[in-house]
């Protein structure tokens, strides 16, 4: 069954919901029960990486220059199922300023998502922000980089994701 056949079987209001909805038909065009994956994703437990460990610290380069890759946020082969990221929890920002984060997946470090926070004098805790990615192959590792208006600034990160 091709992707086009699946698209035509979707209700009209889903077809117009945008290209993100149709990613499932591109990923699973031969799966006759693709609705199972959607239901599992929507109703399956959310997961956090790293789990049972401190957040991973990201360090910016010079002002508005990405720093180096972080340690693994999710190590390769930890999540065996197809998954996608929904949220990032950012905490411990070292200085007032804006922090722009890039999330990378796989051995080739493919850019898959962005998120951003701004720390002011009144924000010194943690904040969960939207950080949606495309669907990722099970076994993918996740790493990140950050840039900031503050050279050398640091921020800690955890990622929230769902598997299919």
Could you list the beta-strand ranges (E) of 3-96.
Answer: 46-49, 56-59, 83-91
Which tens digits make up the pLDDT trace of 105-164?
999 999 999 999 999 887 667 889 999 998 898 899 999 999 999 999 999 999 999 887
* pLDDT reading at 14 higher than 70: no
| Predicted model pTM | 0.77
97-105 and 83-91 beta bridge pairing: unpaired
Give the whole-angstrom CA distance, residue 34 versus residue 111. Answer: 26
Query: Residue 102: beta bridge partners?
Result: 114, 145
* CA gap 114, 117 in Å, rounded: 11
111 and 143 in a single domain? The answer is yes
Which of 42-46, 48-52, 72-76 has the weakest average pLDDT?
A: 42-46
Is 68 in the same domain as 141?
A: yes
Domain match, 72 and 16 both: no
Q: Are residues 66 and 33 in the same domain?
A: no
Same domain, 21 and 61: no
User: How distant is the alpha carbon of residue 156 from its chain centre?
Assistant: 15
What the block records as the tokens of 25 is: 């038909």
Q: Is the pLDDT of residue 18 over 50?
A: no
Domain end among 43, 58, 75:
43
Tokens of 54: 């401190």
Same-domain check for residues 77 and 11: no
Q: Which domain holds residue 101?
A: 47-163
Q: Both 107 and 129 in a single domain? A: yes
How high is the pLDDT of residue 31? 58
CATH code for the domain of 158: 2.60.120.260
**How far, rounded to the nearest angstrom, does the alpha carbon of residue 115 sit from its chain's CA centroid?**
9
Query: Residue for token digits 């192959």?
Result: 137
Is the same domain home to 66 and 96?
yes
Q: Looking at residues 75-103, what average pLDDT do you find?
A: 94
Indicate if 2 and 76 belong to the same structural domain. Answer: no
- Examine the domain organization and report whether 67 and 7 are in the same domain: no
Our count of domains for the chain comes to 2
Cβ atoms 90, 101 nearer than 8 A: yes
């Amino acid at each position: 069954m091709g992707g086009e056949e699946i698209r035509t079987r979707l209700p009209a209001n889903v077809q117009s919901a945008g290209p993100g909805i149709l990613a499932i038909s591109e990923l699973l065009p031969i799966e006759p029960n693709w609705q199972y994956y959607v239901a599992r994703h929507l109703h399956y437990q959310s997961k956090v990486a790293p789990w049972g460990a401190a957040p991973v610290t990201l360090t910016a380069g010079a002002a508005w220059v990405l720093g180096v890759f972080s340690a693994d946020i999710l190590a390769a082969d930890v999540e065996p199922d197809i998954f996608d990221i929904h949220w990032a929890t950012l905490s411990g920002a070292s200085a007032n300023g804006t922090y722009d984060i890039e999330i990378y997946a796989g051995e080739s470090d493919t850019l898959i998502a962005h998120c951003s926070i701004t720390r002011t004098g009144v924000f010194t805790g943690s904040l969960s922000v939207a950080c949606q990615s495309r669907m990722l192959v099970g076994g993918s590792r996740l790493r990140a980089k950050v840039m900031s208006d503050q050279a050398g600034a640091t921020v800690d990160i955890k990622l929230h994701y769902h598997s299919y």
